[in-house]
A and B are shown apart, each in its own frame.
Chain A
């Protein structure tokens, strides 16, 4: 068995989710190869070669793969992947965008967002917003899988010494082009990788009040997230959304402030180790999953909490 892992990157650095995906590959067992596709990605390939447990890094460096447009990258992965037993990618927006296109090209069903490896062909994944866990077996000759990063502890980012091999194949479908991007700027840790996450909901009342959460987060070295209600109300940008339709997090500590705890939100955070809820409504469903609940006005509790930690 040889497993192909698609490296997750933004064109500049290798994303930590790659390490979790390699961890899932290691659980399956077999040689692990990593594909880095993009343009001007030498440094990313070097970083990939250092990942513990990786045997080979394939580098497809071409203008056609810049911004990882799926119309061009999927045919590359399908062509290379034909020789592998498994193709894995992180369940990030890139992985979700590209991998189903690969699966269809290979004419196999995909398994999305696995949280555990039972055997080389059997995996567990959440369905119905995490309200049920399905055990799925694949009989496909090539198993195409996206990995939920929070389901696997990352492997070490160094210690490996994989060989690096250039891939010459160029696929340019010519059906799509990159126009531009607008990335949210943040100095805080990345939401999906943070050890502590502080999230605000509709109870924050406006975007300005999120400053209380930022102050607390900075003191804790935490990332700041939000519920869909807070995003829809325009308090904060969409990439801060935690939930079924946003990001899935599983930090050591999740502090939910002014969040009622709808099932779509819980789907994104209920695997956190410790959950704290601060809400003035003691009937709020969030208290049913919280390890520590505090019924209080958040505008008093959050500044006090910031002082005490």
Chain B
């Protein structure tokens, strides 16, 4: 079974981002970039499916700038077989990304597509669901467990009250939650080997996909700062402040 994994290059999750002075966006110049943490989990799950003999080939795809090749190489070092970059310098919306992924799916015909549940930059949590809508396939979002059996996949999903299990017909779309697995680290020999694995570069034009958007970001601001608090010396003082000053208990 062929598995397609989508990965996104995002600002590293440890970086405290700063809003640009002109409110046009977040300052990403000279900031450390990494693979989105949920995408790492998606790659790991695909590699585990291959190790179990369920997956035969793992194709990793990213849509973004030329530099996203770094994240694709990382995925190759983790165990993906080949990579596709759909190169686009613009900031694309989830719908545009879903349309591009659909075009890649039409070419590659994977049985399973695994994405992260959300990217930690835009925090949208949309692409997987949109891809499922465009292809008409079933969706297993926020997956904490994935079991492929025959032409079905059972997905245990993290929902607000606990966990829910659904069964989907293959092909299907899965988005990963943090609990699904613990991603491995790439070893140095694998990083070296990954440099020789194939990486194909496409463009939205070549795929015949329009990336026009109905959303426009007017401005980006820093959130309202909380005013500095105080340190209390004892539990008694804390209770007194909560009762008489903050009046919340």
Contacts and interface: CB of A to CB of B under 8 A. Distances in A.
Interface of A: 10, 67, 69-71, 74, 92-94, 96-105, 107-113, 122, 126-140, 173-184, 192, 196, 220, 228, 232, 237-239, 244-245, 247, 252-253, 263-264, 270, 273-276, 282, 287, 289-296, 301, 304-305, 308-309
Nearest to A302: B235
Given A181-B162, A239-B160, A292-B241, A97 B129 contact: yes
Chain B: interface size category: 35 or more
A295 B238 CA distance: 11
Interface of B: 11, 13, 16-17, 19, 26, 93-95, 98, 117-118, 120-134, 136-139, 141-142, 144, 154, 157-169, 172, 177-179, 213-223, 226, 229-232, 234-236, 238-239, 241-242, 246, 248-249
Contacts of A67: 164
Contact of A128 (B26, B125, B142, B213): B26
B160 A247 contact: yes
A107 B95 CA distance: 8
Contacts of A196: 248-249
B238 A294 contact: yes
B188 to A, nearest CB: 27
B95 A103 contact: yes
A130 to B, nearest CB: 6
Interface of B is mostly: mixed
A132 B169 contact: no
Given A67-B164, A128-B26, A112 B125 contact: yes
Given A293-B230, A294-B232, A105 B249 contact: no
A292 B142 contact: no
B229 A290 contact: yes
Contacts of A296: 235
Given A181-B162, A181-B164, A292-B232, 12 more contacts: A10-B161, A74-B133, A97-B139, A100-B127, A111-B215, A132-B222, A137-B215, A178-B166, A292-B230, A293-B229, A294-B238, A304-B235
A112 to B, nearest CB: 5
A139 B238 contact: no
Contacts of B120: 128-129, 244
A16 to B, nearest CB: 12
A218 B142 CA distance: 31
Nearest to B179: A238
Interface of A is mostly: mixed
A294 B237 CA distance: 10
Contacts of B122: 127
A184 B162 contact: yes
Nearest to A221: B249
Contacts of A282: 231
B1 to A, nearest CB: 17
A70 B168 CA distance: 12
B248 A175 contact: no
A93 B156 CA distance: 13
Contact of B123 (A129, A252, A275): A129
B150 to A, nearest CB: 14
A119 B13 CA distance: 32
Contacts of B141: 70, 96-97
A99 to B, nearest CB: 8
A127 B229 contact: no
A275 B84 CA distance: 46
A181 to B, nearest CB: 4
B95 A104 contact: yes
B162 A239 contact: yes
A180 B19 CA distance: 44
21 contacts: A70-B141, A94-B160, A100-B125, A101-B129, A103-B95, A103-B126, A104-B98, A110-B95, A110-B124, A112-B124, A112-B126, A129-B123, A131-B16, A133-B220, A174-B169, A177-B166, A238-B144, A252-B248, A273-B248, A276-B238, A294-B238
A178 to B, nearest CB: 6
A277 to B, nearest CB: 8
A231 B135 CA distance: 35
| Central interface residue in B133, B142, B158, by most chain A CB within 10 Å | B133
